[in-house]
Chains A and B, each alone.
Chain A
Amino acid sequence: MLTIEHAYWLLAAFLFGAAWLNLRERRGSHAAFWAVLGLLFACGQPVLAATQAHNLVPAQAAGIGVLVLAVLAPRMKRGHLVERSADEREADARRLRHRLLLPAVLIPLVTLLVALSGDRLAIGGRHLFDATQMTLTGLALACVIALVAALLVTRAQPSAGLAEGRRLLDTLGWAALLPLMLAALGGVFAATGVGDAIADLVKMAIPVQSAVACVIAYGLGMVLFTAIMGNAFAAFPVLTAGIGLPLLIQLHGANPAILGALGMLTGYCGTLFTPMAANFNIVPVALLELPNQYDVIRAQWKTGAALLVVNLALMYWLAFRR
């Protein structure tokens, strides 16, 4: 049975390959960075299992690995790696044409197929895919199939898969890691009570008898907290327990379903504003080789601001209807 753990092993293997290529070119910091990250991916499951069994030593070792990554990250220079010349690429593009699109489209297509029918695929009564995280397992499988198709279509050497993958990985550099680092920080913030402290701050600042003030405080609190955590999922339970439930639902009689849906979406507006949501706002800066770290946020913050106003208005109009 294919599980998400297989996808992590595959990813670890790719990271080790990238480390090895960097080592051959005497780019020590890059090599060490990808090797440590690969190790963390390969050993993830045992670490979690040990923590379940109240053995904290593996988790602490992983924590040290994370510290090592943080030390190595600033030493990684984001240089441009050698690529095939534009002329060669254009010649290939004119020859291969639409055939080039096929492997690229296979990634979403196979992912889709697994997501929709993965739970029905079985060989000899055994399920092919583990039900948890099936879409992501499908994505990993899709990447392998697409790579094989890409190699067939372009008639490139199989080693090109590693070489080109590593070129893009080094283009991303430490930005690839930021989403994970921020998620880890979210875990620490949650465990140290940062959320409760922020909810208390908001409550101190508003007149609770006014429904409008409570709606605004809840909405802006979601935005602020999402911007700090980089993730509306972390903000929702804290702000809804701190403001939404006691003030809006119990005191002012708001409809919980409407308040919940719109509260979460208001948080999503905050995701558009913050570098902490690195996988959406910082990773594409590296992927698209943009000059300024905040270019993507600059392109989208006005959409987020307009939607924030719409959400607050909808919350006020819809949630208190009888």
Chain B
Amino acid sequence: MTHWLPLLGVLVVVIGFALRFNPVPVVIVAGLVSGLAAGKGIGEILALLGNSFVSQRALLLFVLTLPAIGVLERAGLREHARYWIASLRGLTLSRLLIAYLGLRQILSMLGLTNVAGQAQTVRPLLAPMAEAAAEKRGAPLDPDERNDVRAFSAATDNVGLFFGEDVFIALGAVLLIQGFYSQHGIELQPLQIALWALPTAIAAFLIHGVRTVLFARRIHSAAVPAETAAEHMRADTKTDAKC
């Protein structure tokens, strides 16, 4: 019976996220509950928390990009990205996002996972570019559509990263798989494992590519008539001044 008790921590997480409490304390309470349920003392749990936290510091390194990105944004980087895309005639929303998806997958396959990312490329470049490309339909985006385009850009980065990462070049995931099997007496070459990730990588490109085309078509055909568009434009400059 005691074997099942630590699962209470999982329950805390699920309930906390479902009720939309602030996730940070939810996560910590889940850790405490799970630790206590497993019969560990407070001192032991604190050490476990502290240790796991500091050994994962690499996860926050993306924050180092913020000063450079911030200075460039102050001088109009997002605005420039928008004008530039708007001036390129043939670059539609779907072409932009699919090109980014393919590039991100190929870079990840070569082990260059940190080259792009939500902070490095999506916020300063891809999202404003996607907005500008979407507005080539001849009408500005309303706030909901703008959010949809931004969220889809972020999603495209994630899909490109995940389904490029463990193809071909031996990276974290492949080495983890190889190490696991080797512990259990099965010896494999990294390449043997990595190549079998290729069919999924191709499927990911096709599936997300088709979804991108459908999404772009929805945004394109949702263009509002010129009169309401002008109103949106006014509302838009207002939101722009804020953000």
Binds B, one of A19-27, A120-128, A235-243: A235-243
B177 contacts chain A at the CB level, 8 A cutoff? yes
Closest residue to B209 on the A side, CB-wise?
Answer: A303
Chain B binder among A91-99, A206-214, A215-223: A91-99
- Apart from A59-B51, A94-B83, A197-B4, 5 more pairs, CB < 8 Å: A66-B49, A94-B76, A177-B60, A264-B197, A307-B200
* Chain A interface residue number, banded: 35 or more
The answer to whether B68 touches A299, judged by C-beta atoms less than 8 angstroms apart, is no
Q: SS class of chain A's interface: helix, strand, loop or mixed? A: helix
Tell me whether B142 is interfacial, beta carbon within 8 Å. Answer: no
Q: Residue on A with the closest CB to B179?
A: A237
**B 52-76 binary contact with A (CB < 8 Å = 1; else 0):** 1111111111111111111111111
Q: In the complex, what's the smallest C-beta–C-beta distance from A60 to chain B, in angstroms?
A: 4
* A318 CB within 8 Å of chain B: yes
Q: Known A108-B120, A164-B67; judge A188-B54 contact (CB<8 A).
A: no
A255, chain B: closest CB distance, angstroms: 9
Q: Which B residues are closer than 8 A to A by beta carbons? A: 3-4, 6-7, 9-10, 13-14, 17, 20, 22-25, 27-31, 34-35, 37-38, 40, 43-81, 83-84, 111-116, 118-125, 127, 147-148, 150-155, 157-159, 161-163, 165-166, 172-174, 176-177, 180-181, 184, 186, 188, 192-197, 199-200, 203-204, 207-208, 211, 237, 240-243
B interface, over-half SS: helix
- Cβ–Cβ < 8 Å partners of B31 in chain A: 184-185, 188-189
A178 is contacted by which of B7, B10, B23, B79 (Cβ under 8 Å)? B23
Interface check A202, CB cutoff 8 A: no
B40 and A192 within 8 A (CB): yes
By the criterion CB–CB under 8 Å, are B74 and A160 in contact?
A: yes
Find the B residue at minimum CB distance from A178.
Answer: B23
Chain B's nearest CB lies how many Å from the CB of A184?
4
Shortest A154–chain B CB gap in Å is 4
Asked whether A150 and B72 contact (CB < 8 A) given A93-B77, A193-B6, A271-B162, the answer is yes
Inter-chain contact B154/A288, CB cutoff 8 Å: yes
Q: With A160-B74, A280-B158, A302-B211 given, is the CB distance from A139 to B83 under 8 Å?
A: no
**Alpha-carbon separation in the docked complex, A47 to B57 (Å):** 12
Which one of A56, A174, A197 lies within 8 Å of B24 (CB-CB)? A174
Known contacts: A89-B75, A160-B74. The answer to whether A104 contacts B207 by CB under 8 A is no
Q: Does A251 contact B (CB under 8 A)?
A: no
Distance to closest chain B CB from A141 (angstroms)? 10
- Contact between B71 and A147, CB atoms less than 8 A apart: yes
Complex: A245 Cα to B182 Cα, angstroms = 12
Roughly how many angstroms separate A52 CA and B142 CA in the complex, as a whole number? 55
Tell me if A32 is interfacial: C-beta within 8 Å of chain B.
no
Q: Given A104-B69, A164-B73, A67 and B28 touching (CB < 8 A)?
A: yes
Annotate A186-212 by CB proximity to B: 1 below 8 A, 0 otherwise.
111101111011101000000000000
Known: A104-B125, A282-B23, A288-B123. A303 touches B197 (CB 8 A): no
Top 5 A-B pairs, shortest CB-CB distance:
A164-B70, A187-B52, A93-B76, A62-B50, A63-B46
Query: Are B196 and A318 in contact, with the CB atoms below 8 A?
Result: yes
* Docked-complex contact A288 and B60, CB < 8 angstroms: no
Contacts of B81 in A (CB 8 A): 101
Known: A181-B28, A265-B166. A236 touches B112 (CB 8 A): no
Given contacts A14-B64, A150-B68, contact A92 B46 (CB under 8 A): no
- Interchain Cβ contacts under 8 Å between A and B, 9 examples: A8-B57, A69-B24, A73-B22, A84-B74, A107-B68, A111-B112, A154-B71, A233-B176, A288-B147
List residues of A (151-180) whose CB comes within 8 Å of B's CBs.
Answer: 151, 153-154, 156, 160-169, 172, 174, 176-180
Asked whether A322 is an interface residue with its Cβ less than 8 Å from the other chain, the reply is: no
Cβ–Cβ contact A60 & B76, under 8 A: no
A85 and B38 contact, CB distance less than 8 A = no
**What's the Cα separation between A289 and B197 when bound, in Å?**
34
Q: In the complex, which of the residues B54, B147, B180 contacts A240, with contact meaning CB atoms closer than 8 Å?
A: B180
Q: Which residues of B contact A303 (CB under 8 A)?
A: 155, 159, 204, 207-208, 211
Cβ–Cβ < 8 Å partners of B162 in chain A: 268, 271-272
Is A287 an interface position by the 8 A CB rule? yes
Q: Closest approach, in angstroms, between the C-beta of A246 and any C-beta of chain B?
A: 10
Nearest CB of A to B109, in Å: 13
Residues of A within 8 A of B173 (CB): 232-233, 264
- Given A62-B50, A179-B60, A303-B211: A188 and B9 interface contact (C-beta under 8 Å): yes
Instruction: Evaluate contact between A193 and B69: CB separation under 8 angstroms.
Output: no
Q: Does A71 contact B (CB under 8 A)?
A: yes
Q: How far is the CB of B96 from chain A (nearest CB, A)?
A: 15
